[in-house]
Structure 1
Amino acid sequence: MKTSLLQYRCPRNILVFRALPVAGMLCAVPALRALRAACPEARITLVGLPWARDFTRRYPGYVDDFVAFPGFPGLPEQTPDIPAIPGFLTELQSRRFDLALQMHDESPLANAVAALFDAGANAGFRAAGATGSETDAFLPWPAQGSEIRRLLALTDFLGAPRQGERLEFPLLAEDMQALADSGQADDLPPGGYICLHPNAGAAGERWPPQAFAAVGDALHAATGLPLVLTAAGSDAGHAVQQALHTPARHGQAPLTPGTLAAQLSAARLVVSDDQDIAQLCAALHRPSVTIFRATDMERWAPLERELHPSVWTPPGFAADEGIAEVLRQAEALLARDQPARLRARA
């Protein structure tokens, strides 16, 4: 297999292996768009985590089919369902894919898993310095840059011209219905509330609840807009709710990605410390400020910095300085179409 293959002899049956959480999947959308434009007649099957099953309905122009990945020992994204792995591999092998495209990451294990799919050819990422007979079909993993551009580097390498870097997250009718059924949007006018999402995964990545509360109280005082805690059911959300002086709406049950997206899509502003929410807001084109503490900000911050600024506040960073910078960015976003009182403060 040679690079630029997609320009001249597109495979008819393509498997894309990308089994990651929300941010990782959203960042792959521009690469999937480029792949589809290069191979418009191909059948593209996504192998991903179970949550991404609705990709075939949400992105019908880019993905034709979906197979849930049961996990694999050594891959950290989910606990592997060991009994399900043989049947999963048998199913994929029976489909006789022309190409298995490993877009998961640069790990040798990810490539080894993709090789088990028994496609006619394999391509994707490899670790820098890796050798072997097929390295001409594998791009060394870019050590720097945003996740979106790293993935686009792979489709460039394979000969699929870029179709833009924009993110998308099409909302489905059932997303809006699920939000209505949850009660989380009752009496909230579109563009008339501020979402706080304190829910970064690892404890070392979380912004202190007192800092979130200080930002929420200040933004409510400046705008009068109600606050909504979208990290429903999380310990981080409860901690921020307890620290707030301003009453905030906080659901008890976690929302699905689609329902959460429906809630965020009508927010005036979103403040979070979660890279999944950062990329979801970018895909929804909702103004947002994201706090990064340990996660690689260059890799996971949204590309459109004007509408989605990010603030670096690592552990040990002065809390008052972090709060002040988050407020500065948030108020600048709000001041773009808010009353003169807020514009003057920003």
Structure 2
Amino acid sequence: MLRALHLGDLLVAVPALRALRRALPDHRIVLATTPALAPLVELTGAVDELLPTTGPDALTWDRPSPDVAVNLHGRGPQSHHALDALSPRRRIGFRAPGWDGPEFDEVAEKHPHERERWCAMLAAHGIPADPGDLRLPPPPGLPPRRCGTPVLVHPGARYGSKRWPARRFAEVATALNCPLTPVAITGSADERDLAVAVAGAAGLAESRVLAGRTDLAQLCALVAGAALVVSGDTGVAHLAAAFGTPSVTLFGPVDPAQWGPPADGPHVTLGDADVRRGDPFADDPDPALLAVGVGDVLRAAARLRDHPRSRTPARAPEAR
């Protein structure tokens, strides 16, 4: 299976991965994906082996031809050609030259959410998949929830179009910080300067800045045990959905109907679709994102305090 993308891309594919695990119980499931995602791959319970791959062009395979090749990476020729080169007996993906399957545009029209699209693609190949099967079990060694459970504020995002202004994140952090729910600022090493600036403007000690100090496994544990996650439309928001952690996610260029959390979970999405520009690669924040005020976020957080945290257990891996 090929899904060599980013954190959020892997998490929206979890229902499809588990469906394939159930449909192919006697097969060894090898997922070609970004090696840094190994802690998450293990938590899915659906994969036997991670094949480190940074993209379709980097896919290498020095073993006998696989019985089945599954394209969960995309619908374009690059990913299809990479899997064709393995000479699999069976191909599962969207329709392309040499590939049977549903037309992507027809599926996307009926199923706008990325998670649902992959499940619909599998269903067209005779493999039933549940788009709601996205929950992950708590990471090993997660301590019990107690007083002092943190609120995580995550101000960074890969592209400027998805970055809410730092001063607004600081105002949110100031308002939410209290002894029962101390605020911590998360992010990657590249986002540490941003996180330090937000913490400083919020009056938080630099010890509350976790950006650049956590690997993915540690970030998973933080999110799984948090009282609340406030972020833009980025990977940490998908982690909150996967662990059932209450979250407020700020959407700019992307429609939450395509990439947002489940509607029935303890999650609130904010953004003004009426002014959405829709360019995810722009350097400046999308107008839909800028339309969200600090008060909007704080009101959403207050609503989530009264929402029972989702306790639906993650589905156990299939015995095999």
TM range (shorter): 0.7 to 0.9
> Which letter maps to 1:195?
L
1:137 is aligned to 2:101: yes
Tell me how far 1:54 sits from its aligned partner: 4.1
Equivalence map 1:143-162=2 (5 Å): 143-144=108-109, 145-162=112-129
Q: Pick from 23, 37, 41: which aligns with 2:26?
A: 41
Bigger drift between 305-314 and 276-285 goes to 305-314
How far, CA to CA, are the matches of 1:265 and 1:244 in structure 2? 24
Q: Pick from 239, 242, 247: which aligns with 1:288?
A: 247
- The equivalent of 1:116 in structure 2 is 85
How far, CA to CA, are the matches of 2:294 and 2:19 in structure 1? 39
1:165 is aligned to 2:132: yes
- The equivalent of 1:251 in structure 2 is 210
Equivalence map 1:146-225=2 (5 Å): 146-163=113-130, 165-173=132-140, 176=142, 189=146, 192-220=149-177, 225=181
> Which letter maps to 2:186?
T
1:63 is aligned to 2:20: no
- The equivalent of 2:302 in structure 1 is 331
Q: Pick from 89, 94, 97: which aligns with 2:60?
A: 89
How far, CA to CA, are the matches of 1:110 and 1:318 in structure 2? 32
Tell me how far 1:316 sits from its aligned partner: 3.5
Contact 1:26/1:167 (8 A) holds in 2:
yes
**Deviation by residue 1:12-40 (Cα, 9 ceiling, x = unmatched):** xxxx1111111111111111111122222
Tell me how far 1:166 sits from its aligned partner: 2.7
- The equivalent of 1:19 in structure 2 is 4
> Which letter maps to 2:296?
E
Equivalence map 1:257-296=2 (5 Å): 257-296=216-255
Calculate the TM-score normalised by the size of structure 1: 0.75
How far, CA to CA, are the matches of 2:289 and 2:254 in structure 1? 18
**Deviation by residue 1:102-127 (Cα, 9 ceiling, x = unmatched):** 1101222111122122212322124x
How far, CA to CA, are the matches of 2:89 and 2:295 in structure 1? 55
> Which letter maps to 2:212?
A
**Deviation by residue 1:166-194 (Cα, 9 ceiling, x = unmatched):** 31333443x75xxx9xxxx9xx9466221
Contact 1:275/1:300 (8 A) holds in 2:
no
- The equivalent of 1:304 in structure 2 is 263
The 1:296/1:334 distance shift into structure 2, 3 A limit, reads: same
> Which letter maps to 2:136?
F
The 1:285/1:330 distance shift into structure 2, 3 A limit, reads: same
> Which letter maps to 1:148?
R
Q: Unpaired segments of 5 or more residues in structure 1?
A: 1-15, 74-84, 338-346
How far, CA to CA, are the matches of 1:282 and 1:115 in structure 2? 34
The 1:50/1:219 distance shift into structure 2, 3 A limit, reads: same
- The equivalent of 2:315 in structure 1 is none
Equivalence map 1:231-242=2 (5 Å): 231=187, 233=189, 234=191, 235-242=193-200
> Which letter maps to 1:220?
N
Bigger drift between 209-218 and 245-254 goes to 245-254
Contact 1:195/1:269 (8 A) holds in 2:
yes
The 1:63/1:252 distance shift into structure 2, 3 A limit, reads: closer
How far, CA to CA, are the matches of 1:193 and 1:55 in structure 2? 22
How far, CA to CA, are the matches of 1:106 and 1:90 in structure 2? 21
Calculate the TM-score normalised by the size of structure 2: 0.80
1:105 is aligned to 2:69: no
Contact 1:288/1:309 (8 A) holds in 2:
yes
Tell me how far 1:251 sits from its aligned partner: 2.6
**Deviation by residue 1:256-299 (Cα, 9 ceiling, x = unmatched):** 22210101122111101143111111111110010111234221
Tell me how far 1:199 sits from its aligned partner: 1.5
The 1:271/1:36 distance shift into structure 2, 3 A limit, reads: same
Structural RMSD (CA): 2.9
Tell me how far 1:317 sits from its aligned partner: 5.3
How far, CA to CA, are the matches of 1:123 and 1:250 in structure 2? 44
The 1:330/1:65 distance shift into structure 2, 3 A limit, reads: same
Q: Secondary structure at the match of 2:258?
A: helix
Contact 2:166/2:194 (8 A) holds in 1:
yes
Contact 2:154/2:186 (8 A) holds in 1:
yes
Higher radius of gyration, 1 or 2: 1
How far, CA to CA, are the matches of 1:287 and 1:37 in structure 2? 29
